[in-house]
Amino acid sequence: MACQRNEELQELLNEAKKVANEGKVASYIPALQRENPDTLSCAIAYPDGQCISAGDIQKNFTLQSISKIITLALVLMDYGSEHVFHKVGMEPTGDPFNSIIKLETSSQAKPLNPMINAGALSVTSMIKGKDATEKVEYILDFVRKLCHDPEITYCKDVAISEFTTSFLNRSLCYYMKGAGVIHGNVEEIMEVYTKQCAISMNCLQLAIIGAVFAGDGICPVTQEEVIPKNVARICKTFMVTCGMYNASGEFAIKIGVPAKSGVSGGIMCAVPGRFGIGIFGPPLNEIGNSHTGMRLLELFQEKYDLSMF
């Protein structure tokens, strides 16, 4: 998809960059802390295949938690919602994305939703394949189809960096395994999860995936259905209720569109029936959402009336 640089968008980007020094690049995954806090790029992909952009849209970043919406779509397509929601709930938590507390205090150890780490790990444990390699390839093939790019892959450095330091996520897995919520080998689940989080792309490719969800599952490049409408609808609903971690309520009020963020600084929005947005801005606020990305979306909301509410 060819993307036109857009001056108006660039001006909004320049404005949003002014708050870059108020955020902090993620460092708990060591490989992420190398990012430059001044980087900010954005692309908007329309359902008819048009696209506008600003900033360095060649710059790749890892999906991190944005991958959770993709694996959710995949397991919903493979198993149907009844099976999936037997292993993961539908309710927002109000807790940080990596919290373990609700696993212990809610009546079943089933994670409350697929957008928190516990829920995403449960989703990853359902991915089809005989071993980690096959499962990762299966996820990658789906992502390649979503953004219509056969070259998409994961960043080995970031995957290893997280795999070797991710003790909290291992604890979530072992807790859920102990409670009979997930089955299988925890190290294998961790390998698949850290590789799915390390899938690397630029903001144009992310905007195209956003446009697939915005357009009820239709790829804006090929006009083919790549996700059933019902699955796209469920994913967008989770993006509204839980996509921006424990700031999802505030985000719904201030911006009002389905969105999913990741600690790399990526944000994907799916503005229903209108367009997909891909943003990359590494400095994060204290909740773990891109600080410059959030500022940019506030400016979009003021200027283009994004909110669907």
Task: Point out the catalytic residue in the list 67, 110, 245, 257.
Answer: 245
Eight-class DSSP state of 33: G
Residue of this chain nearest to ligand GLN (CB atom): 65
Residue 169, interface with ligand GLN (CB under 6 A)? yes
Among candidate residues 69, 63, 50, 35, the one with its CA nearest the CA of residue 3: 50
The minimum distance between CB 98 and ligand GLN, in angstroms, equals 6
Buried b (16+ CB within 10 A) or exposed e, 15-53: ebbebbeebebbeebebbeebebebbbbbbbbbeeebbb
Binding flags for ligand GLN, 102-141, as an x/- string (CB under 6 A): ---------------x------------------------
Residue 162, interface with ligand GLN (CB under 6 A)? yes
The residue (of 52 and 239) whose beta carbon lies closer to ligand GLN is: 239
Supply φ then ψ for residue 41, to 5 degrees. Answer: -135, 155
Among candidate residues 80, 227, 100, the one with its CA nearest the CA of residue 172: 100
The residue (of 39 and 98) whose beta carbon lies closer to ligand GLN is: 98
Residue 280 CA: distances (Å) to CA of 123, 203, 262, 277: 25, 6, 10, 10
Task: Point out the catalytic residue in the list 123, 226, 263, 271.
Answer: 263
CA 36 to chain centre: 20
Binding flags for ligand GLN, 236-275, as an x/- string (CB under 6 A): --------------------------xx------------
- Helix 67-79 × helix 229-242 angle, to 10°: 140
Q: Are strands 266-271 and 283-284 parallel, antiparallel or unpaired?
A: unpaired
Q: Are strands 51-54 and 4-5 parallel, antiparallel or unpaired?
A: parallel
128 as an active site residue: the answer is no
174 as an active site residue: the answer is no
* Residue 249 in tokens: 């309520």
Buried b (16+ CB within 10 A) or exposed e, 265-277: bbbbbbbbebbbb
Binding flags for ligand GLN, 66-105, as an x/- string (CB under 6 A): -------------------------------xx-------
Applying CB under 6 A, which of residues 191, 288, 294, 295 lies at the interface with ligand GLN? 288
Residue 200, interface with ligand GLN (CB under 6 A)? no
Residue 196, interface with ligand GLN (CB under 6 A)? no
Binding flags for ligand GLN, 7-46, as an x/- string (CB under 6 A): ----------------------------------------
Which residues partner with 208 through β-bridges?
none
Task: Point out the catalytic residue in the list 65, 67, 122, 261.
Answer: 65
- Secondary element (H or E) of residue 122: helix 117-124
The minimum distance between CB 52 and ligand GLN, in angstroms, equals 26
245 as an active site residue: the answer is yes
Catalytic residues: 65, 68, 193, 245, 263
Q: Which residues bind ligand GLN (CB under 6 A)?
A: 64-65, 97-98, 117, 162, 169, 197, 262-263, 288
